[in-house]
Chain A
Amino acid sequence: MGRSYRIPLPALAASAFVLVTLAIAMVFFVAPNDADQGFSQRIFYFHVSIAITAYACFAGGAWKAFRHLTRRDPRYDLESYVAVHQGVILGVLVLLTGSIWAKISWGHWWLWSEDQLVLFLVLFLFYCAYFMLRFSVDPGPQRANLSAVYALFGVVLIPVSFAAIRLAKNLIHPVVFTLQGPRFGGWILVTYCVAQAAMLVLAYTLYRVELAGKLLDSRLRELREVLA
């Protein structure tokens, strides 16, 4: 069964609260204003850290799916599902924040040239299909297997789609890729790291809460069955 040395939920919730508060404070009061885009560029801290957290959720979901396939323990199926679920919610946030950022920076709500935005749209479609699949099969080992296999496809699809999106962009108007993005250093880096840590801990806390609820549900059902 699962690990027994988990961090207790209250401690997790408290640290998530502290980190998120700190991150918000730093984003608004500590990080310097961007030279080109000014104050509103600060949405970058949320956008990027949520995106990375969403990837972490998808990867976690795939890892749990893999564990399910090797162990065939329904608990891993539930964990995989909850992780993917979190990933999709965060994915919607990435699309929203990315869209706002695009509007601020370039004046358009949607930009096909934004790799990350397009990739999240693809992933959003992919994981929506994951939910459709899950809702279309009765609960049981078969649903667990099919979901797990599809979740594993997801982690292969992420790098492949990323490469494809780059290739497609190259096709329409060739661009030279350099690694010279906005200068990353000092308070920008510190603020970003805090925001990233806050998002990861928050997502993990929500994952644990959701999981605890679902486990309680299924225990209750088992108990009811025993009593019946």
Chain B
Amino acid sequence: MTYARDVVALARKDLLLELRARDTLPAMLLFVVSTFVVFHFAVGSSPSRLAANGLLWVAIVFTALLGLGRAFVPEREQRTLDGLVLAPVDRSTIWVAKSIAALAFLGAAEVVALPVYGLFFHRLSGSAVAGVVLADVGICAVGAFLGAIAVATRARDLLMPLLFLPLAIPIVVGGVGASVAASPGRYLGFLVLYDALFSVVCWATFEFVVTE
């Protein structure tokens, strides 16, 4: 399938760019661990399970934000987006590839961050990890899309959290629910629904973000 081949070619490029520039992933890692430490001093040494889970989700959303805000910055600075837009590929592949790259960075940061969280605060349940994985998909899909919008504006870095956080509220609800509820099934289902719904909207409208 040519769509998948284009996505692979573009995602490979995005990962390669990060590998060369190495500015996003280390920043995300450092940020998420620092956030945990700050939280420890903000809430004391033994916060309730609910509070600690809240911390985890705030940390995930803001860490993701850090990476997603930069997703389209290289394209913007070197104006390479024009090159991709000119190519005879479905424009939504650009968004899919960016989302995949963002997911890879966020996933890599979490591979470190979740065990650290377990060490500092509480051990995470299986459903909490499932919630994190499902939430990551939605965060990266919506975040990469909004990153493309944000780089087209003058305010850029300032705008990204403003655009993203209202849309991240349902993700946080689903994620916290999956982490602490006695029956996390409906929260996981809600996250799946969110991912599906917003992915379709992003996929259908991305063309308009990068063209006139």
A→B interface (CB under 8 Å): 69, 122-123, 125-126, 128-129, 132-133, 136-137, 141-142, 145-146, 148-150, 152-153, 156-157, 160-161, 163-165, 167-168, 171
Q: List 11 A-B residue pairs with CB atoms under 8 Å apart, sorted by A's residue number.
A: A122-B169, A125-B166, A132-B155, A132-B162, A142-B152, A146-B208, A149-B149, A160-B193, A164-B173, A165-B173, A167-B186
Give the shortest distance, in Å, between B63 (CB) and chain A (any CB): 20
Partner of A129, one of B162, B170, B177, B211: B162
Report B-chain residues with C-beta under 8 Å of the C-beta of A161: 169-170
Report A-chain residues with C-beta under 8 Å of the C-beta of B166: 122-123, 125-126, 129, 157
Shortest Cβ distance from B162 into A: residue: A129
Give the shortest distance, in Å, between B151 (CB) and chain A (any CB): 11
Give the shortest distance, in Å, between B206 (CB) and chain A (any CB): 8
Asked if B153 CB lies within 8 Å of chain A CBs, one says yes
Asked if B212 CB lies within 8 Å of chain A CBs, one says yes
Interface string of B83-116 (1 = CB under 8 A from A): 0000000000000000000000000000000000
Q: Which of B2-10, B122-130, B194-202 contacts A (4 or more CB under 8 A)?
A: B194-202
Shortest Cβ distance from A129 into B: residue: B162
Secondary structure at the B interface, as helix, strand, loop or mixed, is: helix
Would you call A167 and B208 a contact (CB within 8 A)? Answer: no
B→A interface (CB under 8 Å): 149, 152-155, 159, 162-163, 165-167, 169-170, 173-174, 176-177, 180-181, 186-187, 190, 193-194, 197-198, 201, 205, 208-209, 211-212
Would you call B209 and A137 a contact (CB within 8 A)? Answer: no
Would you call B170 and A163 a contact (CB within 8 A)? Answer: yes
Complex Cα gap A168–B180 (Å): 11
Would you call A153 and B170 a contact (CB within 8 A)? Answer: no
Give the shortest distance, in Å, between A221 (CB) and chain B (any CB): 21
Q: Which 5 pairs across A and B sit closest by C-beta, in order of nearness? A: A164-B170, A126-B166, A136-B153, A164-B173, A136-B155
Report A-chain residues with C-beta under 8 Å of the C-beta of B209: 145-146, 149
Would you call B201 and A153 a contact (CB within 8 A)? Answer: yes
Given A133-B149, A157-B166, CB of A145 within 8 Å of CB of B208: yes
Give the shortest distance, in Å, between B194 (CB) and chain A (any CB): 6
Given A142-B152, A160-B194, A167-B187, CB of A133 within 8 Å of CB of B167: no
Shortest Cβ distance from A126 into B: residue: B166
Would you call B190 and A132 a contact (CB within 8 A)? Answer: no
Would you call B159 and A167 a contact (CB within 8 A)? Answer: no
Would you call A150 and B163 a contact (CB within 8 A)? Answer: yes
Would you call A167 and B149 a contact (CB within 8 A)? Answer: no
